[in-house]
Amino acid sequence: MDIGFNYAQELDQNDTLHTFRNEFYVSDKSIYFDGNSLGLLSKRAEKTVFELLDSWKQHGIDGWTEGKHPWFYLSEKLGALSAPLVGVDAEEVIITGSTTTNLHQLVSSFFHPTEYKSKILADELNFPSDIYALKSQLQLKGLNPNTHLVQVSSNDGHTLDTDTIIKAMNEDIALIVLPSVLYRSGQILDIETLTKEAHKRNILIGFDLCHSFGAIPHQLSEWDVDFAFWCTYKHTNGGPGSVGGLYVNKKHFGTPPGLAGWFSSKKEKQFDMEHTLTAATNAGAFQIGTPHVLSAAPLIGSLQMFEEAGIHNIRKKSLQLTNYLMKLIELELGDFNFVIANPRDEKERGGHVFLEHPEAARICKALKAEGVIPDFRQPNGIRLAPVALYNTFSEVYQAVQILKKIMTKETYKDYKNERGVIA
């Protein structure tokens, strides 16, 4: 079967999401495959930023309760828009803080070590910031991270084995924090099974959704996950530094926030100015400070598009894009020592393709010089993320041809094989 450019064009013509590409500022001079690090700006996100600026201009302090998007309720409004992406009720989600701030909040709220259950279970492939936070939380409790943070090992350096994680759920584990999707290989963990096994052992479990939020569907309530947290600048295109999000299972409503603050308050009581906190009776209790209104503004427009497109449709196209990319890599680049290190099984693969090559850093530089924007990961990884809402199958084909030219002509040798300040 021919899977060349004509085939790519045919896939584009049959793409039910193709009109969303027009919503984004897509350059005609480059192919952007780094949406799993920072999504592109959409026209709707830009529009809602200006709407929030205008509400400040027009209403001043009354913008907290007046205007198109009153600021006082903005975190809850965005939580409601986010809820379908993670399969939960609106009251279980709040858009607030950042990934790491929210992790600190959730661990401080749900990690209560005892004499017999005093350890946190994580993994060795997680993004470093999660591990920094977990070690910090242990230290704050007077516990040694070297003995009280248990990290599950990988058998192959790319993926985690479900049974291996379950075997590490010993009786001294009080809390588990794992990624939903591994940031390097893109492996999707079996959240449902891991949650069920953790609860059998009386262990609370939470997940970092940074590489799955907006890319794959979730059913966190159905799976009975205790908590989750995520960023919004990757697949949901909230912009650099956009506000993060968190989910707390409603069965935990009433749990005092470990890090209480001004916006932990029940809204009706907040301006009573009492020195005893009356916490919100939903996920809002786990906010800390005042919402970052202008950093949240792009999400209003962005999440509206996700509501229209549907996360299941997004996932379907994402899988088609990465399947096509892998087929082309195998067909066109078989002589150049690339290793596809992400899972092939669609149930286990997130929203990007992960290639390994000894010359990965300089290959990424050569790709950027040719107008293809990838993502390098130490020591030898190339992440390529064709995003369902704005990338095309034709771009996938063109990117592989550009990569083939780079390898054939060895133009990557014009660059040093070392990462930049920001990989």
Which residues are part of a known binding site for pyridoxal 5'-phosphate?
99-100, 127-130, 208, 211, 233, 262, 290
Of the candidates 247, 228, 230, the one whose C-alpha atom is nearest the C-alpha of residue 176 is 228
Of the candidates 154, 104, 112, 106, the one whose C-alpha atom is nearest the C-alpha of residue 132 is 104
DSSP 244-283: -EEEE-GGGTTPPPSS--GGGB-TTTGGG--SS--B-SSG
**What value does the CA radius of gyration of the chain take, rounded to a whole number of Å?**
22
Separation CA 390–CA 382 (nearest Å): 20
DSSP 51-102: HHHHHHHHHGGGGGTSSSS-GGGHHHHHHHHHHHHHT--GGGEEE-S-HHHH
Q: Are 209 and 155 in contact (CB under 8 A)?
A: no
Q: Are 49 and 305 in contact (CB under 8 A)?
A: no
Binding residues: 99-100, 127-130, 208, 211, 233, 262, 290
Of the candidates 189, 191, 232, the one whose C-alpha atom is nearest the C-alpha of residue 213 is 232
